[in-house]
A and B are shown apart, each in its own frame.
Chain A
């Protein structure tokens, strides 16, 4: 009996040891790392396409750099990414490279607090462009748009904090077969009035056939995109009226301050006209759309229950791979001065962004391997690196010299037009954006109207705009203060490079400080009486 127990124990020991050996060599982390440096690259582009594109670039980069391992972290965007980013950055566990966007609610201060400026690096050629058309060209100038968004959305007018990987725009994705069924042929809308007529025809077709078909696939997320596209046309004139600084363009801080000073209101005729357009577009969505998310709208479209799905070209790869019908991307044209409903408020054709690049990647100031992280960014945004990304993702490249695959070539057919501002009027800041969503039901459906929505917004916005301007001001100050040690640091170092960097830091700090002081004064002047 005793011998049997001993054999059983020994057998168990051998089995446990064998299982452990198997686990160690097949499942767990290697005992000795083969690559000295691991860098983490985090983003929220988990649609079909970008992860494949980034993996393709990583694979080649690791072949070229045997000591570096790049890990792609795909974090779901809408609700998780902002909290995940904030908590990791605060806890000093943030990845080396991170995606960030100026529109993320409540995240305005992130670049100033946690990211390192790339301005000096961007002035030098990208070494991975050697032997390409972009050789010897400063890195910044190799981007298709010379980094418009990272410059515009920089918390500091004198610094650039990000580089972009791709280029996106918004498109009306049309179910070609359904359009032929409804209209007898494919009709490409040339202006908003054409779209208005198509949407009316869909409604009539649905009524006659009894089939539940909507003009536009509906959801809360896609509604914001539709609203931002159509709302803008009558507002160009409003923006021009408020442009005291002569920038031909308004920054969010200027729009917010102008509202606080009583210089524009939602109830004024031009803004009401814009809201009327939003109401017309959203009335083509199925009832209850405001409770739904982007994926619901996509499913509605893929099931053939909506003629159009309006969203970014970032969804094009998913749509193409999943749709059982032919899809044609079209532009959502804005109202023009000859529009029968709102034309008198429209001063000209609005622009839809002239090839603005996006998917902005930032370098974490606390990165343990900043040189390697920066080097990977350079590869990903070089001609060969961006080509790998583009071919595997079917997303547009951000870099000049990359060959655009045939399937996505027409995404670059942009509508040129007049400039308006840094952000759409519904997204001037976190509080304004929340107020827009909270009151949106006043605008839609049988019970809603542009006037009701405008009244609700004008009641809620003075407080919301104040909070958003205050947030802008605080985010600017967050940037100003840490610049003093940076300036002292450069001053403590010898050499021409240190002098140049010190001068740049001094200039950008003074510019930011001037803006913060202006915002402080605007807040003080418009402070409501207690």
Chain B
């Protein structure tokens, strides 16, 4: 039978025999696998990300080690042992000086804040503070300050008095340079203010700042517009209340609260007339 392909030189065949199995097993480069794993994590597919990372041969890079530890946080069933293993990786990576170190330090704090069965807010707060001291401008340190704010508002034993909790969280704001993160902490401070029944004039500036920065999605912008109108009305800032209520009716229609808002605008008109009467 005639050969379908020409005979390879002997050395060529030997080279291919050695190289082909290696090429077949190598697959795409590790960087592509790690990028794909991040994409899968972003899509809430931690299990698939784990599989993707698991097939990368050789010793893991720092980025791969971080990704593998992150996956563990949401790899069901999540067990205390696995979380502790992840923490060991985060702690080791956090010793570096790069962005991976900052992400790892942040995630180590998150374990103590929400992931461990028994949260430890004091330890989480200490880790956030240490990260913010070490690399104050890192995104992870900035995000950590927002989470530290939440701990101060609700979870840490000290300060205990609501006004002091709010003051401590407010003191973090100048350290946060990223505007979207500033907005998130402003919103939390405002909500803590109404939760702890603080004077409305201490709550409203935070809500106004959230509105100024903007960019919220989902139900949040609608609730914010209503809160701004209603709390302004209750605080006696009638012109401000009117502006926010009218903006609400313009931007969020149709809505189940539209009639209530229109009723509040009528109440507002009566209050304004009364105030004008009193001034005469």
**A507 B41 Cβ-Cβ under 8 A:** no
A416 and B150 in contact (CB under 8 A), knowing A152-B219, A247-B227, A493-B39? no
Interface string of A479-516 (1 = CB under 8 A from B): 01110111011111100001001011011101101100
Q: Kindly name the residue among A154, A244, A491 whose own CB sees the greatest number of chain B CB atoms within 10 A.
A: A491
Total number of A residues with any Cβ neighbor in B under 8 Å: 63
B73's partner among A144, A485, A503, A513 (CB-CB below 8 A) is: A485
A477 and B114 in contact (CB under 8 A), knowing A365-B44, A419-B257, A511-B220? yes
**A484 B107 Cβ-Cβ under 8 A:** yes
Q: Which of A56-64, A220-228, A445-453, A517-525 contacts B (4 or more CB under 8 A)?
A: A517-525
The interface of chain B, by Cβ under 8 A from chain A, is 34-35, 37-46, 49, 63, 66-67, 70-71, 73-74, 103, 107, 110, 114-115, 139, 143, 146-147, 150, 153-155, 180-181, 183-185, 187-188, 191-192, 194-195, 197, 215-220, 222-223, 226-227, 230-231, 234, 252, 254-261, 263-264
A-B contact pairs, 26 of them (CB 8 A): A116-B44, A145-B255, A148-B256, A158-B216, A159-B217, A159-B218, A246-B227, A353-B256, A354-B255, A365-B44, A365-B45, A482-B46, A484-B114, A485-B44, A486-B41, A486-B43, A488-B70, A491-B139, A492-B41, A493-B38, A493-B42, A498-B42, A503-B180, A510-B146, A510-B187, A517-B155
**B147 A510 Cβ-Cβ under 8 A:** yes
- Closest residue of chain B to A119 (Cβ to Cβ) is B217
Q: Which residues of B contact A511 (CB under 8 A)?
A: 184, 187-188, 220
The verdict on A418 contacting chain B, using a C-beta distance below 8 Å, is yes
**B114 A481 Cβ-Cβ under 8 A:** yes
| 7 tightest Cβ-Cβ pairs between the two chains A and B | A489-B41, A492-B38, A489-B42, A246-B230, A517-B154, A151-B219, A246-B231
**B150 A504 Cβ-Cβ under 8 A:** no
Whole-angstrom distance between the Cβ of A141 and the nearest chain B Cβ: 11
Bound CA–CA A513/B220 (angstroms): 14
Q: Which residues of A contact B70 (CB under 8 A)?
A: 484-485, 488-489
Bound CA–CA A521/B264 (angstroms): 31
Bound CA–CA A481/B86 (angstroms): 15
**B218 A158 Cβ-Cβ under 8 A:** yes
Whole-angstrom distance between the Cβ of A149 and the nearest chain B Cβ: 10
Bound CA–CA A418/B266 (angstroms): 13
- Closest residue of chain A to B46 (Cβ to Cβ) is A485
Whole-angstrom distance between the Cβ of A94 and the nearest chain B Cβ: 14
- The total of Cβ contacts below 8 Å across the A-B interface reads 196
The verdict on A372 contacting chain B, using a C-beta distance below 8 Å, is no
- Closest residue of chain A to B207 (Cβ to Cβ) is A246
**B218 A354 Cβ-Cβ under 8 A:** no
Whole-angstrom distance between the Cβ of A32 and the nearest chain B Cβ: 28
Bound CA–CA A484/B107 (angstroms): 8
Q: Which residues of A contact B256 (CB under 8 A)?
A: 148, 249, 351, 353-354, 356, 419
**B150 A517 Cβ-Cβ under 8 A:** yes
B218's partner among A156, A348, A356, A482 (CB-CB below 8 A) is: A156
The verdict on A455 contacting chain B, using a C-beta distance below 8 Å, is no
A493 and B35 in contact (CB under 8 A), knowing A158-B217, A158-B220, A418-B263? yes
Bound CA–CA A245/B45 (angstroms): 36
Bound CA–CA A205/B261 (angstroms): 44
Bound CA–CA A492/B40 (angstroms): 11
Whole-angstrom distance between the Cβ of B139 and the nearest chain A Cβ: 7
Whole-angstrom distance between the Cβ of A67 and the nearest chain B Cβ: 22
- Closest residue of chain A to B195 (Cβ to Cβ) is A518
A249 and B226 in contact (CB under 8 A), knowing A159-B218, A488-B41? yes
Q: Which residues of B contact A503 (CB under 8 A)?
A: 180, 215
**B261 A145 Cβ-Cβ under 8 A:** no
**B263 A348 Cβ-Cβ under 8 A:** yes
Bound CA–CA A490/B217 (angstroms): 17
A157 and B218 in contact (CB under 8 A), knowing A145-B254, A484-B70? yes
**A484 B154 Cβ-Cβ under 8 A:** no
The verdict on A21 contacting chain B, using a C-beta distance below 8 Å, is no
A504 and B114 in contact (CB under 8 A), knowing A248-B261, A482-B44? no
Bound CA–CA A426/B187 (angstroms): 31
Whole-angstrom distance between the Cβ of A333 and the nearest chain B Cβ: 15
Whole-angstrom distance between the Cβ of A417 and the nearest chain B Cβ: 6
Q: Which residues of A contact B219 (CB under 8 A)?
A: 151-152, 154, 157-158
The verdict on A319 contacting chain B, using a C-beta distance below 8 Å, is no
Q: Which residues of B contact A365 (CB under 8 A)?
A: 44-45
**B74 A481 Cβ-Cβ under 8 A:** yes
The verdict on A355 contacting chain B, using a C-beta distance below 8 Å, is yes
Whole-angstrom distance between the Cβ of B6 and the nearest chain A Cβ: 38
A501 and B150 in contact (CB under 8 A), knowing A158-B216, A245-B194, A480-B114? no
Bound CA–CA A356/B147 (angstroms): 35
The verdict on A383 contacting chain B, using a C-beta distance below 8 Å, is no
Bound CA–CA A503/B139 (angstroms): 11
**A246 B226 Cβ-Cβ under 8 A:** yes
Q: Which residues of A contact B49 (CB under 8 A)?
A: 485, 489
- Closest residue of chain B to A500 (Cβ to Cβ) is B215
Q: Which residues of A contact B231 (CB under 8 A)?
A: 246
**B73 A484 Cβ-Cβ under 8 A:** yes
* Extra contacts besides A351-B256, A351-B259, A482-B74 (9): CB < 8 Å: A246-B194, A485-B46, A486-B43, A488-B70, A488-B107, A492-B67, A501-B42, A503-B215, A518-B195
Q: Which residues of B contact A488 (CB under 8 A)?
A: 38, 41, 66-67, 70, 103, 107
Bound CA–CA A502/B174 (angstroms): 22
Q: Which residues of B contact A353 (CB under 8 A)?
A: 256
Q: Which residues of A contact B143 (CB under 8 A)?
A: 506
Bound CA–CA A20/B157 (angstroms): 75
Q: Which residues of B contact A521 (CB under 8 A)?
A: 154
Q: Which residues of B contact A490 (CB under 8 A)?
A: 38, 42
Q: Which residues of A contact B155 (CB under 8 A)?
A: 517
Q: Which residues of B contact A510 (CB under 8 A)?
A: 146-147, 150, 184-185, 187-188
